[in-house]
């Protein structure tokens, strides 16, 4: 097995001795790495891509640590930005048809094109006519149509919103 020896100051691997077991290494680290110094080195059975020392224990940095400590802002997801050394998460508004995160203004925007909107309006019109036909059948047979009417009202609101976009 390979043991990974890290320099505590720079957290890079300085040696990779091959041993039978980790316990064997811990019993005599100088036997496998002559420069071993308990104040300068830390060993582990795992090689970390982004190591950090946390209360004397080496571990992998979290996504948040990579963003905040290493400035890897490319790891931010849509709806996230950094403010006062904290990651702020902004939920996307439900009314947006195609949600688009603007990284410069840290705000959600409508990302739909005119073609997207036209296609969605036509789909909603088709859905509305089907709901209307279903409502007539249900009335004819004495069923409650409140659920259908709510869907129809929601459909109208969606179409009206889309018509305001361009």
pLDDT tens-digit profile of 98-112?
Answer: 999 999 999 999 999
- Cβ count near 58 (within 10 Å): 17
How far is the C-alpha of 131 from the C-alpha of 21, rounded, in Å? 69
| Cα torsion through 35, 36, 39, 42, rounded to 10 | 130
Q: Mean pLDDT throughout 135-160?
A: 96
Residues 158 and 139 in one domain: yes
Q: Mean pLDDT throughout 115-133?
A: 97
Classify residue 28 as exposed, middle or buried by CB count within 10 Å of its CB (0-12, 13-18, 19+).
Answer: exposed
Residues 53 and 38 in one domain: yes
Q: How many domains does the chain have?
A: 3
- Cβ count near 29 (within 10 Å): 21
Residues 51 and 10 in one domain: yes
Q: How confident is the model at residue 8 (pLDDT cuts 50, 70, 90)?
A: very high
| pLDDT the model gives residue 49 | 96
Residues 124 and 88 in one domain: no
Residues 125 and 99 in one domain: no
| pLDDT the model gives residue 105 | 96
The residues pairing with 82 across neighbouring beta strands, listed in sequence order, are 87
The pTM (predicted TM-score) of the whole model is: 0.72
The residues pairing with 107 across neighbouring beta strands, listed in sequence order, are 102
Asked if 33 contacts 17 with a C-beta cutoff of 8 angstroms, the reply is yes
Asked if 16 contacts 4 with a C-beta cutoff of 8 angstroms, the reply is yes
How far is the C-alpha of 160 from the C-alpha of 57, rounded, in Å? 57
Residues 120 and 155 in one domain: yes
| pLDDT the model gives residue 95 | 86
Residues 84 and 119 in one domain: no
Q: Residues of the chain with pLDDT > 70: what percent?
A: 100
Output the six-digit token pair for 15: 């040696």
Using the predicted structure, report yes or no on whether residue 79 has a pLDDT greater than 80: yes
Q: How confident is the model at residue 165 (pLDDT cuts 50, 70, 90)?
A: confident
Using the predicted structure, report yes or no on whether residue 127 has a pLDDT greater than 90: yes
What confidence tens digit (pLDDT) does each residue in 38-62 have? 999 999 999 999 999 999 999 999 9
| pLDDT the model gives residue 146 | 97
Residues 123 and 81 in one domain: no
Where in the sequence is the domain holding 130, given as residue range(s)?
114-163
Residues 73 and 52 in one domain: no
How far is the C-alpha of 120 from the C-alpha of 79, rounded, in Å? 24
Q: Mean pLDDT throughout 5-14?
A: 97
Residues 45 and 72 in one domain: no
Using the predicted structure, report yes or no on whether residue 130 has a pLDDT greater than 80: yes
| pLDDT the model gives residue 118 | 96
DSSP 14: E
């Amino acid at each position: 097995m390979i043991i990974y020896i890290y320099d505590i100051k720079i957290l890079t691997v300085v040696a990779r001795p091959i041993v039978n077991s980790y316990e064997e290494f811990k019993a005599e680290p100088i036997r496998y790495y002559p420069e071993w110094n308990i104040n300068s080195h830390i060993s582990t059975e795992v090689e970390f891509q982004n190591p950090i020392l946390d209360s004397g224990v080496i571990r992998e940095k979290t996504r948040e640590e990579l963003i905040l400590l290493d400035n890897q802002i490319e790891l931010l997801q849509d709806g996230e930005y950094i403010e006062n050394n904290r990651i702020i998460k902004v939920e996307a508004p439900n009314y947006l048809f195609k949600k688009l995160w603007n990284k410069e203004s840290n705000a959600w925007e409508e990302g739909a094109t005119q073609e997207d909107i036209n296609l969605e309006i036509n789909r909603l019109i088709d859905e509305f006519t089907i709901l209307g036909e279903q409502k007539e059948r249900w009335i004819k047979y004495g069923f409650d149509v409140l659920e259908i009417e709510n869907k129809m009202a929601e459909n109208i609101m969606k179409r009206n919103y889309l018509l305001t976009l361009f």
